[in-house]
Chains A and B, each alone.
Chain A
Amino acid sequence: MKHIMDIRELEITAELAQIAFTPAELERLGREVTQMVSYFEKMKEVDTDGLEPTTHAFVKANRVRPDTVTPSTLADAALERAPELEDRFIVIPNVL
């Protein structure tokens, strides 16, 4: 069955992704996303009974690192990119 991405569902998705759209954009995206979703609908038709989902390809062994500290040489450089600082705190508009 063809899944229609209606405007309400699209609005919720956009809100979750924190993206703002104009009504015209929503209209156009509604059509495009519906088309994309239909590709997935097609894939879902394939019988996958008894198959494990593949979350990672080409993974042969655990990938872990030892618990050792590397001094962070990039901390100051990262802070330099912050728009506003106060005593090494990054300052943003109040979000509470």
Chain B
Amino acid sequence: MYDTFVGLEIHIHLLTKSKVFCSCKAHYGDEPNTNVCPVCLGYPGVLPVLNEEAIKLAYVVAQSLNCRLSPRTLFERKNYFYPDLPKNYQISQFSDPVGENGFIDVPLAEGVTKRIRIHDVHLEEDAGKMIHAGDMSLCDYNRTGYPLLEIVTEPDLSGGEEAEKFLQYFQRLVRYLHVSDGNMEEGSLRCDANISINKTGGGLGTKVEVKNLNSSRFVRKALEFEFKRQSAQFEAGTRIVQETRLWNENRDVTESMRSKESSHDYRYFPEPDLPPFVPSADFLRLVDSLQVELPLARRERLKTTWGLSAEQADFVSESKTLADYFETTAKASGQGASVANWLMGDVQKELKHFDLTLEASPLSSARLAQLVTLLESGRIHIKIAKQLLIAVFEENKDPETLVKEKGWEAITTESQLQPILEKVFTEHSGVVEAIRAGDQRQKGFLVGQVMQATGGRAAPALVNQLLAKALG
């Protein structure tokens, strides 16, 4: 009935130590107005100077999104009056952004990807943070001048669900690239959405912008609400107004935000204080060297190289750190699927139990590889392997060492098992007699006794074999 067109404007904080145009600390959560100086406070006569790390990370993102990289990128002043930026303009980019005309392939479902076009990628400075309380507003300029990268997509997404998936994938991507922590709660990844709907085949409709979307879930919910609201207007024959709306997370609705119609003229002009940036061949080589295998490509490769299921591949490719850990372990042990299962199951459980991250835990990839190898080669049983994992967490020692210290190696030879079997027979002579008299049901009891006597180390097949031999 209707076509929905959704485009996103995503802002990410770049992972730099200092701000984009001055050397104030770029750090979340400090005391208000401590990381400020005359440059970011917009005092007259100051000179902004571009942070070389920020421009490098901007190009890294643009290249990873398959953009045409600008051979001469220009900064411009975007003029607007609001107390979150004391200069009354934001240094941004308009005519020559870092990157243009890119695309990104996004996984939507198993085996289904969609190519979303990227309009442009541009570098700008973030504005300050304001708290509105009663008759006053409180201003904190610590965030003013944070390097902010804006990524603008074409309206290629078909609704809330796709937008949510896109955003989740994009978050994974910037973390893989190590350009942003992508943390939406702390505002280092923010998103505005444009949505228009029209009768099927009618092309783009009237654009409505939705702001204040602090999580990917809100993006989906706000867009789903907008679809309902706008399609109802279509049904009623009411004209859809081009406007900006705010998501109200308490009421699950979008609300119209009154804004002055004439305020949309930002009067961009070249920032006279900042010369254009011309990337050198060396700079572009450096940017190229910082590209990584993107999450989707990595996930697919993990499936084919290590025979992982879709679920396993999803899990281990969640972060680059985990994917790297997985591959190191899989290579060292030669056991892809088994390593993935350990990571998804018991390792997760113990990390939660000991309240540790994988990187901070005593379980190095070499140790997990050792554990998996011990198990897969039959030197320990699965029950022992689980105990062994806990022991690694508790004692911070190598699995090989622990197995030796604790005598956990499996009992796999007849000569080791025979004396234990005889001891059990002596202790439970009544049961032995009963079995010999024909009560086969009691055999399980003896198996249990042998397993108990060996601390679970006896190979069950061997126990059954020896029992059958001894009891006829």
Contacts and interface: CB of A to CB of B under 8 A. Distances in A.
Interface of A: 12, 15-16, 18, 55-56, 59, 62-72, 74-75, 78-79, 86-96
Nearest to B280: A62
B355 interface: no
B187 interface: no
A95 B133 CA distance: 10
A69 B83 CA distance: 25
Nearest to A67: B53
Contacts of B17: 67-69
Contacts of B51: 64-65, 67
Nearest to B27: A69
Contacts of A87: 32
B445 interface: no
Interface in B240-267: 262-263, 265, 267
A75 B36 contact: yes
A70 to B, nearest CB: 4
B138 A91 contact: yes
A65 B49 contact: yes
B52 A66 contact: yes
Contacts of B263: 16
30 contacts: A16-B262, A16-B265, A55-B270, A55-B276, A62-B275, A62-B277, A64-B49, A64-B277, A65-B51, A66-B53, A69-B23, A71-B25, A74-B37, A75-B33, A75-B35, A75-B37, A89-B140, A90-B138, A90-B139, A90-B140, A91-B136, A91-B137, A92-B136, A93-B135, A93-B136, A93-B137, A94-B135, A95-B82, A95-B130, A95-B137
A5 to B, nearest CB: 16
A52 B417 CA distance: 89
A62 B278 contact: yes
B52 A67 contact: yes
Interface residues of B, number: 53
A64 B276 CA distance: 11
Interface of B: 16-18, 23-25, 31-38, 41, 43, 49-55, 74, 79, 81-83, 88, 130-141, 262-263, 265, 267, 270, 272, 274-278, 280
Contact of A67 (B16, B79, B132, B265): B16
B83 A92 contact: yes
Given A62-B280, A64-B49, 14 more contacts: A16-B263, A55-B74, A55-B270, A67-B17, A67-B52, A69-B23, A72-B25, A72-B35, A72-B36, A75-B36, A78-B38, A89-B139, A94-B135, A95-B83
Q: Which 7 A-B pairs have the closest CB atoms?
A: A67-B53, A89-B138, A70-B23, A55-B270, A64-B52, A59-B275, A96-B132
Given A16-B79, A89-B131, A65 B136 contact: no
Given A93-B135, A94-B132, A94-B135, A72 B34 contact: yes
Contacts of A86: 138
Contacts of B275: 56, 59, 62-63
Contacts of A96: 132, 137
A16 B80 CA distance: 8
A66 B43 CA distance: 22
Nearest to A70: B23
A66 B132 CA distance: 36
Interface centre among A15, A18, A64, A88, by most chain B C-beta atoms within 10 angstroms, is A64
Given A65-B52, A74-B38, A79 B33 contact: yes
Contact of B262 (A15, A90, A92, A95): A15
Nearest to A96: B132
A69 B25 contact: yes
Given A12-B262, A55-B276, A90-B138, A69 B32 contact: no
A88 B79 contact: no
B135 A63 contact: no
Given A16-B267, A86-B138, A93-B137, A67 B54 contact: yes
B32 A89 contact: yes
Contacts of B37: 72, 74-75, 78
A84 B162 CA distance: 46
